[in-house]
Amino acid sequence: MNATLEQYKERIAAIEREGSLDLNTQMLLNHLVEDLEKCVQLNLSLRKSVSKSNSKESRMSSKLRDALYE
C-alpha cells in the first residue's frame, strides 16, 4: 500500500507542477492523502493486534485441549 500511496503523491505533484489544479483542489487532495496515510497506519496496527489476539486464542485452546485429554 505504501507504493500505491507514493504513486498517488507523485501523480498529484505532477499535476500540481502542470498548474492544472486550483488551490481548493490541491488542498483537498493533500487532505485526502493525509487521511489515507492515517488509515493505512491504523489498518496495520489493527492487523497486528488481530494477529496477536489470534495467536493468544490458539495457545489458549491448545492448553484447554491438552487439559481435556489428560
Nearest to residue 8, comparing CAs of 34, 41, 27? 34
Q: Give residue 60's pLDDT.
A: 58
Convert the pLDDT of each residue in 5-49 to its tens digit.
999 999 999 998 998 889 999 999 999 999 999 999 999 999 998
CA distance 64 to 58: 10
pTM: 0.68
Convert the pLDDT of each residue in 44-59 to its tens digit.
999 998 888 777 655 6
